[in-house]
Each structure stands twice: as structure tokens, then as C-alpha cells.
Amino acid sequence: MSHLVSIDAAALAAGQAAGDFAASSAAARARLLRALADALEAERESLVPLAEQETGLGLSRLDGELDRTAFQLRGFATELERGAAHRVEDDPAVAGAPPAGRLRLTRVRLPLGPVAMFAASNFPFAFSVLGGDTASALAAGCPVVVKAHPAHPMLSRKTVEIARRVVEQQGWPEGVFQFIEGASVETGVRLVQAPAIAAVAFTGSFRGGIALADIAARRPRPIPFFGELGSTNPLIVLPAMLQRDAKGPAAALAQSICQGSGQFCTSPGVIVVPAGNAGDVFVSALAKALSAQAPQRMLTEGIRSAFDRGVSAWADSSSVRALLAPPARGAAAPSPFLGEVVAGDFIADALLHEEVFGPAALVVRVASNNQAIDVLQTIGGSLTVTLWGAEDESEETRALVRTASQIAGRVLFAGVPTGVAVAAAQHHGGPYPASTQPWSTSVGYAAMDRFLRPVALQDAPEWLLERQGVPC
């Protein structure tokens, strides 16, 4: 019970700090974000080895991820200094009756309030305690209550120590940054139900996310739930690409499938390849390149067990031909898996549409462009769709691009979907089931918009207008 009381206390403290934090200047919040970035980098020598100890993701990868985390903290600071949070739209008064006439209208944006931030397992820095959700919420003027992920508890606590020290040094009330732990379902439920919480940012499993989204919607006063839930990230190999090269792209794709042991939300899980000899060459090259990969151990026993179950379900399907043997369950690290299925069987079997989180993919062989479109429509919402070989315009290419754009938040025409840049034009979201709010992004500077609510001020007094969008 004391654990649950601490959740209520954290949410209450965030609620008490929300008003003053919302009314703070962009410059003050930018200083906070830059100070957090500086503090992270100053503690690199202790943080990165600790992250490696808990996750096994590799020192080089984790060192780069810390750089990314500091980069996005500073990036949101720069956006604040450019006026992104306090953007104002002003329509002067026009004489006469509506609709032609109007009183003066000034549209501003207000912070929603305390944000419950669920840290992710697969990015212990960039999507964790001081990751993108925390950075964007603080930039928007919203206090955060961070729920640590149990996959890296020691790193989370160490990062929290750093964050709390910076918050205190910058003169902010402690309610601006709150932290809770707990691996139980009850912990997450209690946090989402806490009356002071105004929004939720979640990255995790589909089942867990949907359950929490339902709880957020059934509160006495429902709150927005920004959930990134899972994605198969289909990659379409068009004939034009096969005519140029097969082995090079196959090697890049194999590396993408196995990057981080496949524990990326953008890992390509469905590879659509034309039937025929050219497609056979590509699939053979992909299988060979994958067999040479050596994924590291997975983050948790639960993730590994789910991966083994998912691969077994694919391999046991009568319509799937295993191109690589399923991984041995007793091995410390998983081996990559690749299966092949014809488009008709894939479309008909809902089990094959489910994400398998880890170094595994299904090759779907299609007989036509229209069948490739049918595969995309069957998969539904995805964070990404990649189209290789769409450089030349045609009716068929336009149809594929149209379909890809309808089901994905990001459409790639070169490269692989793993590796998500932090930029103003980035969109990391997608239609259901990839995310619960397809118009929002959890990566890039538009992520701040999730936590800002528009308000129109009609004939506002001059003192309020002089605040230039900063809440009072």
C-alpha cells in the first residue's frame, strides 16, 4: 500500500508544480533542458557502463544513445528559444456581424499538466528517464512523473539522481520531475488513474498499451493517451531495385533486422518481394546475410520468451517455409529467423500479421503490384513502410505510395527504417495499431505539440496579450 501511496504523492506533487511551471518562460525551460543534457554528458563514464551491465546493448551503441539523448534535450531547448511552445496566432477585429465581422481573436497554447511517462526497455537513455517524452513534456511546460522500466532499474535511479540535482540547482520545485518504480500492472494502472495526471506517454507492448489507454479513457475525466504500441514495418522490394542490385540491399536489410537484436520499434518484420528469379536471388542473399549475423542477448527474459513463442508460431504454420532454422531456446542469445510465405496465405492468416519483437522477419512473395498493396492493407497501421525501387513515376508506383502513406507515419524510399532522426519534419507514429494517436509523434520537435492545448482568447486585455503566449 505504501508503494501505491508514493505514486499518488508523486502525481500530487507534479500537480502542485504544474501551474507555475506552465507559466514559466521559454528561456527558463530551455536552460533546464540544456543543464540536463550537460549533466548527462558529465556522468557518461558512470552511466554508460551501468547501462551495459543491465542491458548488454554494447558500450558503443549506448555511448551513441547518450549522445542522442543529450542532442534531443538541447534540440527542444533550441525550439523553445525559437518560440515553438508559445506560438501565437492573432486575428485583429473586423467591423460588422459574423461571419465577415469578428472581435479580436488570439490563439495561444497551454500546457496540459502533469504527464505520466512510461519508460521503454529497448532505449535505456533515449526513450527512458530523460528521453524524448520527458524532454518534450518539460519543453511544453508540463511536469513529468517518470515510471521506470524494470529492465534497467539501476541506470534509471542513477539518471533520476542527476535529473533531481539539476532541477534543484535550477531553482524548480521538485514536483517538476517525479519518479516511481514498480513492475506490476497495478503500478501503471494507479499512475494513469491518479487525478493530477493530465496525459500519458507510453512506449511498450500492444497489450499493455491498449489496457492502459482504456483506463485513461474510462477515468471520470478522460485524458489523452499517446501510445506507441508496435509495428511490423513492411519493406517492399520493387522490380526496379532488383534489376540494379540484390546483394548490397540484402546485406543492409539483414543488419537492420538484427540491429539491437531486433529490439527496435522500426525493425523491418515483413519483406515483400516479387515472385520470380530476380526475387529468388534477393531472398537467397538476404537469408545468407542473416545467417552471418550474431545478435546479442535480449533485454529481458520476458522479451526473449515472447520472441521464441512468436517465431515458433510462424515456423509451425503450414504455409510458412523456414529459410533459417528457429532459434534454440536454451541459447543465451537468439539466432535470426527468416520465413517465406506466398501473399495469399499471408493475407488469410491473421497470426502471421502479428509483430515478432526480435531478429526475425517474414518474406512475402507477391505476383503483382496489386497483391503488394493487398499485403499492406492487410497489415494495417505501421510506424514505417519502405519502398525500394520507386524512383520512377508510374500509375503502379503512385498506387503503392498512396497505400503506404495511408497506413504508415513514415514512408522511406531508400535505406532501412531503423534509425529515427530527431528533426522538425520527423513523424514517429502511425495509424492503429502502431499508435493510439496517429497524428502525434514521439520523436522530433513536433512531439511537444502532444502536451499543448489550443485556447482562443477573445478581446483579451492588453496585459495578457503582452505575455506573448506565455500562460499566466
- Does some domain include residue 329? yes
**Marked catalytic residue, from 52, 65, 258, 265:** 265
* Same-domain status, 173 and 250: no
* Same-domain status, 342 and 325: yes
Cis check for the bond before 99: say yes or no (omega within 30 of 0): yes
* Same-domain status, 353 and 239: yes
Q: What is the pLDDT of residue 3?
A: 66
**Marked catalytic residue, from 52, 65, 79, 228:** 228
- Does some domain include residue 472? no
Q: Cell numbers for 378, please give them.
A: 492487410
To which residue does cell 489496457 refer?
211
Tell me how crowded residue 314 is: count the other CB atoms within 10 A of its CB: 24
pLDDT digits (tens, 9 = 90+) for 438-452: 999 999 999 999 999
C-alpha to C-alpha distances, 348 to 88, 345, 379, nearest whole angstrom: 50, 5, 11
- Does some domain include residue 400? yes
CATH number of the domain bearing residue 51: 3.40.605.10
* Same-domain status, 271 and 178: no
CA dihedral 366, 371, 373, 375 (to 10 degrees): -70
- Residue 453 burial (CB < 10 Å; 0-12/13-18/19+)? middle
- Does some domain include residue 417? no
* Same-domain status, 267 and 338: yes
Q: Which residues have CB under 8 Å from 260's CB, separation 6+?
A: 57, 61, 122, 267, 296, 418
- Does some domain include residue 425? no
Measure CA 118 to chain center.
11
Rounded Cα–Cα distance for residues 62 and 42 (Å): 15
pTM for this predicted structure:
0.95
Containing domain of residue 441, as a range? 2-229+435-465
* Same-domain status, 83 and 206: yes
Low-confidence ranges of the chain (pLDDT < 50): 1
* Same-domain status, 134 and 78: yes
Q: Which residues have CB under 8 Å from 131's CB, separation 6+?
A: 69, 72, 119, 120, 123, 125
* Same-domain status, 57 and 126: yes
Rounded Cα–Cα distance for residues 400 and 386 (Å): 10
Q: What is the pLDDT of residue 326?
A: 85
- Does some domain include residue 280? yes
- Does some domain include residue 292? yes
Q: What is the pLDDT of residue 329?
A: 75
Measure CA 219 to chain center.
24
- Does some domain include residue 294? yes
- Domains held by the chain: number: 2
199, 113 Cβ separation under 8 angstroms: yes
* Same-domain status, 223 and 250: no
CATH number of the domain bearing residue 342: 3.40.309.10
Q: What is the pLDDT of residue 460?
A: 97
Q: Cell numbers for 111, please give them.
A: 500546457
Q: Which residues pair with 337 in a beta bridge?
A: 360
Q: What's the chain look like in SS3?
A: CHHHHHHHHHHHHHHHHHHHHHCCCHHHHHHHHHHHHHHHHHCHHHHHHHHHHHHCCCHHHHHHHHHHHHHHHHHHHHHHHCCCCCCCEEECCECCCCCCCECCEEEEEEECCCEEEECCCCCCCCCCCCCHHHHHHHHHCCCEEEECCCCCHHHHHHHHHHHHHHHHHCCCCHHHEEEECCCCHHHHHHHHHCCCCCEEEEECCHHHHHHHHHHHHCCCCCCCEEEECCCCCCEEECHHHHHHCCHHHHHHHHHHHHHHHHCCCCCCCEEEEECCHHHHHHHHHHHHHHHCCCCCCCCCHHHHHHHHHHHHHHHHCCCCEECCCCCCCCCCCCCCEEEEEEHHHHHHCHHHHCCCCCCEEEEEEECCHHHHHHHHHHHCCEEEEEEECCCCCCHHHHHHHHHHHHHEEEEECCCCCCCCCCCCCCCCCCCCCCECCCCCCCCCHHHHHHHEEEEEEECCCHHHHCCCCCCC
Q: Which residues pair with 363 in a beta bridge?
A: 271, 340
* Same-domain status, 106 and 187: yes
Rounded Cα–Cα distance for residues 49 and 59 (Å): 7
Residue 45 is among the residues annotated as catalytic for this protein: no
Q: What is the pLDDT of residue 200?
A: 98
- Of 469, 455, 464, 450, which is closest to residue 113 (Cα–Cα)? 450
Rounded Cα–Cα distance for residues 413 and 63 (Å): 29
* Same-domain status, 222 and 239: no
- Of 80, 65, 194, 74, which is closest to residue 120 (Cα–Cα)? 65
Residue 472 is among the residues annotated as catalytic for this protein: no
- Of 79, 147, 141, 72, which is closest to residue 112 (Cα–Cα)? 141
C-alpha to C-alpha distances, 410 to 349, 416, 450, nearest whole angstrom: 26, 12, 18
* Same-domain status, 19 and 105: yes
378, 406 Cβ separation under 8 angstroms: no
Indicate the length of the chain as a whole number.
Answer: 472
Q: State the number of CA atoms in the 13 A half-sphere of 243 facing the CB.
A: 6
